[in-house]
Amino acid sequence: MRKTATKNGVTVKAYAGTTGVLLAMNVTDRKRQGLLGFAIERHEGSGSPPEWLSGLLPFPGMTVTLGQPIPTNVAPVQKFRWSDYRVYPETEYGYTVHPVYGDPARPTVAAGPSVGVKTASSLHGDHCILFNRAVAASQAFARKFPDLEKQLDAARAAGEEPALPPEALAWLSRGVREQIVGYIDRAMDKTWALDIAIYEYELPEIVRAVEAAHARGVQVRVVYHAKSRDKQTLENEHSLRGLPDAVKRARKTSRICHHKYIVLSRVFHNQRRPQSVLCGSTNFTHNGVYRQANVTHIVGDTTVAQSYLDLFEVLFRGDSPALTANYIDQTNAVDTAAKVFAGFSPRSSKADLQAFIREVAAARRDVMFCTAFDLYDDLEKALLGVAHDPILRYGLQDKASQISGFHADRTADFAATALLSSGLEGWLKESRYKQRGNILIHTKAIVVDFTSDAPVVISGSHNFSKAASESNDENYLIVRGDTDVADCYGCETLRLYDHYRFRYVIQGRTKAGQKVKPPLLTPDDSWTERYFEAGSLRMADRLRFSGQAV
């Protein structure tokens, strides 16, 4: 949902996703004079009292408590974009953006525009999109659970197996675990079917939900990754031991069966009629649900769900990877006009990668993305673009590469994933305790022309790599022209981008031997100057996100 309001020379445009609201501001030249920043006031629903949103940066000389947020009416936001991630799905929120002037020690909060939005649903509608919080390496996690490290260390010292408490797991999941389990629970009896294609099948809550569905008569089938008895195959077989052999199929492949999807169907006269499909990047594991940044995406379009079920039938009957590729080549040509297209691999000719490249190359305003592994070279080039081109580019790449993650233009790059392994003045130590492996960004998503009325979103299990196209079993969605879907993905991409950019910069300076202190607010309006430089990317950012430029 997108809403815009203007008052007293200030404009605000709100983009509401499922678990985040992005506010983009603009001011007239006259109102920019003496502007110290923006104070943002929020209220939830119609009867709740307003509250000031907070930041972490103080003015010079301001006394602050380590790691504690500062209300923006005291220390205003000195950016033209700000996001609120303390929101819940399908909830109404109101925001008033006040310009702040005067003396930093006694700022004056002036009247500004108000805008009301409702966040997207994670349970109802054509698209139900949900992101976990995941990033335990964050200031918010450190503030929410300040004594957690001590508790884990105490458990270890006592000879116990340390484990994150339920409230920490719930915070990290942000509803993703409940969404997956709830989706499985929709299948009530023998008139329902669940067809599951999965790479990593381990999380006990999901395993129990599937077993319970089978026990109440639901027609359950599972295709799981199986590769020469590798560790993941053994994990999958262990988790699936509660289901009879007749409903399980080992997907034999020299690569990986990388799917993470469930098709929910009604059964009439022994025929499955798909109702929806749950897909995305989330493996059914502790890491996938709690630790790595991931997305689950439920599509209610029955035609899309049918295409997932059709592929499942191919996998369940045991077609080889070569036969599967032939099937996909013949039945799954990339539709460049469909509002929602579901694509699969393995396939020949790299038609999927070429389609991704065309979508990115067609960008007129902006490109935002989250990627996890090595990208296909030509797609990487398309995401990078040409130095000093007018396209805004905000990206995260979990693994270091040429792209690695960069800010607005390829001439100012930085790697994406980093954490603060020691506290800074005004910042708290961050943790990813008990995470298996080093992957922090596992979402695979590209959003093209987010700030336009015709955005394109690409999301799924597909890693945007040569192997994902030619060798792995993968799936992805291309959604065109749906601003609500784009708002969900765009808000989350910028959350991850903002989360890691500062950490990477700090990490690089620390390695270079520089003494690092957190930045401070500017005590006058000079902070605005870089956003008003004609022809600059920051000016384009201010105008495009606030809806002031076409």
In this structure, is residue 405 part of a structural domain?
A: yes
The dihedral over CA atoms of 359, 363, 369, 375, expressed in degrees to the nearest 10, equals: 50
pLDDT value of residue 535? 85
Let me know if residue 142 belongs to a domain.
no
Phi, psi dihedral angles at 347 (to 5 degrees): -150, 165
Give the sign of the dihedral formed by CA 221, CA 223, CA 229, CA 232: negative
CA distances from 362 to 127, 365, 378, 455, 480 (A): 25, 9, 14, 11, 13
- Integer Cα distance of 163 and 250 in angstroms: 31
What backbone phi and psi angles, to 5 degrees, belong to 162?
A: -65, 140
Regarding whether 424 and 362 lie in a shared domain, the answer is yes
Show the domain range for 250.
127-132+174-318
**Residue where a domain stops, chosen among 300, 318, 336:** 318
Q: Are residues 275 and 357 in the same domain?
A: no
Rounded CA Rg of the chain: 24
Answer yes or no: are the C-beta atoms of 333 and 174 closer than 8 Å: no
Q: Please tell me whether residues 310 and 355 are part of one structural domain.
A: no
Q: Is residue 550 part of a domain?
A: no
- What is the dihedral sign for C-alpha 7, 10, 16, 19? negative
Q: Is residue 528 assigned to a domain? A: no
* Helices and strands (H and E) in the chain: how many: 15, 25
Rounded to an integer, what distance in angstroms lies between the CA atom of residue 9 and that of residue 95?
17
Residues 60 and 181 placed together within one structural domain of the fold: no
Please report the pLDDT score of residue 381 as a whole number.
Answer: 86
- pLDDT tens for each residue of the chain, 550 residues long: 999 999 999 999 999 999 999 999 999 999 999 999 999 999 998 778 899 999 888 999 888 776 678 999 999 999 999 999 989 999 999 999 999 999 999 999 999 999 999 999 998 899 999 999 876 556 677 778 877 777 777 777 777 766 778 898 999 899 999 999 999 999 999 999 999 999 999 999 999 999 999 999 999 999 999 987 788 899 999 999 999 999 999 998 878 999 999 999 999 999 999 999 999 999 999 989 998 889 999 999 999 999 999 999 999 999 999 999 999 999 999 998 899 999 999 999 899 999 999 999 999 999 998 887 778 889 988 888 877 788 888 877 765 444 344 344 433 443 343 333 333 333 334 444 444 444 577 899 999 999 999 999 999 999 999 999 999 999 999 999 999 999 999 999 888 877 776 666 666 666 666 666 667 899 999 999 999 999 888 899 999 999 987 6
Of 93, 118, 143, the position where a domain reaches its end is 118
Which of 318, 341, 369 is the C-terminal boundary of a domain?
Answer: 318
- The number of distinct structural domains making up the chain is 3
The CATH number of whichever domain residue 389 belongs to comes to 3.30.870.10
CA atoms of 459 and 261, how far apart (whole Å)? 13
332 part of a folded domain: no
For residue 287, count other CB atoms closer than 10 A to its CB.
20
Indicate whether 205 and 280 sit together in one domain.
Answer: yes
Task: Report the candidate in 238, 28, 172 with the shortest Cα–Cα distance to residue 113.
Answer: 28
Give the residue among 44, 144, 133 at the shortest CA–CA distance from 85. Answer: 133
Q: Confirm whether 292 is domain-assigned.
A: yes
pTM value is 0.89
At 111, the amino acid letter reads A
Asked if 203 and 114 sit in the same domain, the reply is: no
Residues 314 and 447 in one domain: no
Distance CA 213, CA 275 (A): 17
* Residue 435, pLDDT score: 41
**321: preceding bond cis by omega (within 30 degrees):** no
- Alpha helices in 245-370, H assignment, sequence order: 286, 302-316, 321-331, 351-361
| 95 beta partners | 42, 115
pLDDT of residue 292: 86
Let me know whether 389 and 499 are in one domain.
yes
Instruction: Judge contact between 394 and 412, C-beta under 8 A.
Output: no
CATH code for position 93:
2.60.40.10
What are the strands of the beta sheet with 2-7, ordered from one edge?
Answer: 2-7, 10-16, 21-27, 81-84
Q: Cα(115)–Cα(405) distance, rounded to whole angstroms? A: 32
Which two structure tokens, joined as six digits, stand for 46? 């119609």
Are 261 and 404 contained in the same domain? Answer: no
Distance CA 429, CA 495 (A): 19
The whole-number pLDDT of residue 398 equals 60
- 367 and 498 housed in the same domain: yes
Report if residue 530 sits inside a domain: no
Same domain, 255 and 401: no
Q: What is the structure's pLDDT at 308?
A: 98
CA distance 531 to 46: 35
Q: What is the DSSP code (8-state) at residue 42?
A: E
**220 plus 101 within the same structural domain:** no
Q: Is residue 251 part of a domain?
A: yes
Helix axes 321-331, 302-316, angle to 10 degrees: 150
Name the token pair of 533.
């430089």
